[in-house]
Amino acid sequence: MEARKKTFTGQVVSDKMDKTIVVAVSSRTLHPLYKKYVTRTKKVKAHDERNEAHIGDTVRVVECRHISKDKCWRLVQIVERAR
C-alpha cells in the first residue's frame, strides 16, 4: 500500500530559477508552555515544469522523488494569481 503524499499550500516568494519556485509554507502551532498560537514558516523548492507560477501566487505543491539536491516538491496547481 502506497502512503499518501504530503500536500502543502503556500505563497511563491521566488521564481528566479529556471523551472523552480520557492514556496513559503506557513503553519500555526500552539506553543506548549504559553498556550499561544505561533506562525511557523518553512521555505521549500518546488519543480515548475512550464515556469507558470510567479511571485505572490498562492500555489499547491505535492511531495515527489528528489529532482535535485534541495528539490523534492512538485507544483500541482496555482490556487490564486497575484494581483
pTM: 0.89
Query: Would the pLDDT of 1 be above 60?
Result: no
The pLDDT confidence band at residue 14, using thresholds 50, 70 and 90, is very high
CATH of region 7-80, choose from 2.40.50.140, 2.40.30.10, 2.60.120.10, 2.60.40.1220: 2.40.50.140
- Cell matching residue 47: 519543480
How far from 21 is each of 28, 37, 71, CA to CA, in Å? 23, 28, 10
Q: Is the dihedral of CA 10, 51, 18, 67 positive or negative?
A: positive
For the chain, which residues make up each domain, given as ranges? 7-80
Tell me the Cα Rg of the chain: 14
pLDDT, tens digit (0-9, with 9 covering 90-100), for 34-83: 999 999 999 999 999 999 999 999 999 999 999 999 999 999 999 999 98
